[in-house]
Amino acid sequence: MHDDTLLTALTRRFDADQEQLRGVALRMMGSRAEAEDVLATARAELARDSTAAVRAWLAAHVGQACVRGLRERAAAGRPGPGGGDPDGVGDLDGVGARGAGGVDSVWLALLVALETLGTEERLAYVLHDLFGLPPDETARVTGGSPVDAARLARRARERLRGGGTARTDGVPGRQRAVADRFLAAARARDARALAAVLTPDVVAYSARGPVHGAPAVAEAAAAFARLADAARPALVDGSVGLVAFVAGVPVSAVAFALRHDRIVALDIVTGEDRVRALDLAFPDG
Cβ-based burial of 8 (10 A; exposed 0-12, middle 13-18, buried ≥19): middle
Q: What is the pLDDT of residue 100?
A: 47
How would you write the chain as a 3-class SS string?
CCHHHHHHHHHHHHHHCHHHHHHHHHHHHCCHHHHHHHHHHHHHCHHHHHHHHHHHHHHHHHHHHHHHHHHHHHHHCCCCCCCCCCCCHHHCCCCCCCCCHHHHHHHHHHHHHHCCCCHHHHHHHHHHHHCCCCHHHHHHHHCCCHHHHHHHHHHHHHHHCCCCHHHHCCCHHHHHHHHHHHHHHHHCCCHHHHHHCEEEEEEEECCCCCEECHHHHHHHCHHHHCCHHHEEEEEECCEEEEEEEECCEEEEEEEEEEECCEEEEEEEEECHHHHHCCCEECCCC
**Percent of the chain whose pLDDT exceeds 70:** 69
Q: What is the pLDDT of residue 4?
A: 66
Type of residue numbered 278? L
Q: What is the pLDDT of residue 230?
A: 83
Q: What is the pLDDT of residue 98?
A: 40
Higher-scoring residue by pLDDT: 71, 92: 71
Residue closest to 242 by CA, chosen among 283, 201, 213, 188: 283
Q: What is the pLDDT of residue 95?
A: 34
Residue closest to 269 by CA, chosen among 118, 126, 139: 139
Between CA 29 and CA 182 the distance in angstroms is: 47
- Of the pLDDT bands very low, low, confident and very high (cuts 50, 70, 90), residue 79 is low
What's the average model confidence in pLDDT over 149-158? Answer: 83
Q: What is the pLDDT of residue 92?
A: 33
pLDDT single digits (tens) 1-22: 445 676 787 788 888 888 888 8
Q: Is the pLDDT of residue 89 over 50?
A: no
Q: Is the pLDDT of residue 166 over 50?
A: no
pLDDT single digits (tens) 195-236: 889 998 888 888 877 888 888 888 777 667 776 668 888 999
pLDDT mean across residues, the chain = 75
**Residues 134 and 209 sit within 8 Å (Cβ to Cβ):** yes
pLDDT single digits (tens) 224-281: 777 666 888 899 988 889 998 988 889 889 999 888 889 988 988 888 888 988 889 9
Higher-scoring residue by pLDDT: 86, 36: 36
- Of the pLDDT bands very low, low, confident and very high (cuts 50, 70, 90), residue 60 is low
Q: What is the pLDDT of residue 196?
A: 87
pLDDT single digits (tens) 171-196: 678 888 898 899 888 888 788 888 88
Q: Is the pLDDT of residue 37 over 70?
A: yes
Type of residue numbered 82? G
pLDDT single digits (tens) 118-145: 778 888 888 887 777 788 888 877 778 8
